Amino acid sequence: MSKIRLRLFGIVLAFICAPPAYAEDFSARGLVKAKSHAVLASEIGAVVSKTPFRSGDTFKKGDTLIGFDCRLLKSQKDKVDAQTKASKAQLANARDLEKMRSIGALDVTLAKAEYDKARAELKIASLNVERCTVKAPFDGTVVQLLVNAFESVDLRRNLIEIVSSSALEVEIIAPADWLKRVSSGQTARMDIDELGISSDVKIIAMGGAVDPVSQTVLIRADFTDLPKDILPGMSGVVRP
């Protein structure tokens, strides 16, 4: 057999024995995302009095992220509180008079209605005062502060953008054939580009539909051990 024929035979044999291309590089890109992300808006119109956290700062659940100057609302609450106490006293007096047959049941009913009305107004005033501070709904990090101290803001004005700093997950945009090759609960390895390290992730959910154009599917995964210094927006290659 000539050398040329032997060489062609070797090429054909290598092609037949070679594994499929996807077996050599069975990987997809993964994006680190925060499970909790929010843009908090104002529930009242007021002047911003304090902004204790700025971009990049971390906070705990319940911390005050934005404070408003609410002296007017607090004064209104004090006024309604005083009216509620007066209505309560009038109701008690009406009940005593009814026992002595000095007034009728209608007068007691009207006094009770005034007291209930005052209590409802007090709840409204208390809720308005509570809105004078914007509390953190979870532990996290400030992405962007959208207002400054001493600014006057209107109702529903966006104030601050925040993300969870510890509850992170990975979104993987994978080829559709991953659906027959991986399953929920399976472990994969992610090489995080920005940190130069690898970390194990556990697949927690498979996409419910395949994109008909790109023939890809969204797969979600959790870190088995959250890497140090990892942030939302980082990305890398995921290999099962």
What domains lie within the chain, and their CATH numbers?
A: 21-35+167-239 (2.40.30.170), 37-68+133-164 (2.40.50.100), 72-130 (1.10.287)
- On whether the pTM is more than 0.85, the answer is no
What whole-number distance in Å separates Cα of residue 197 and Cα of residue 80?
60
Q: pLDDT digits over 12-31, tens only?
A: 444 444 444 444 568 899 99
Q: pLDDT digits over 183-199, tens only?
A: 899 999 999 999 999 99
Q: pLDDT digits over 141-157, tens only?
A: 999 999 999 999 999 99
Distance of CA 86 to the CA centre of its chain: 43
CB neighbour burial string for 27-50, b if at least 16 within 10 angstroms, e if fewer: bbebebbbeeebebebbbebebee
Q: What residue ranges in 42-124 does DSSP mark as E strands?
A: 46-50, 58-59, 64-69
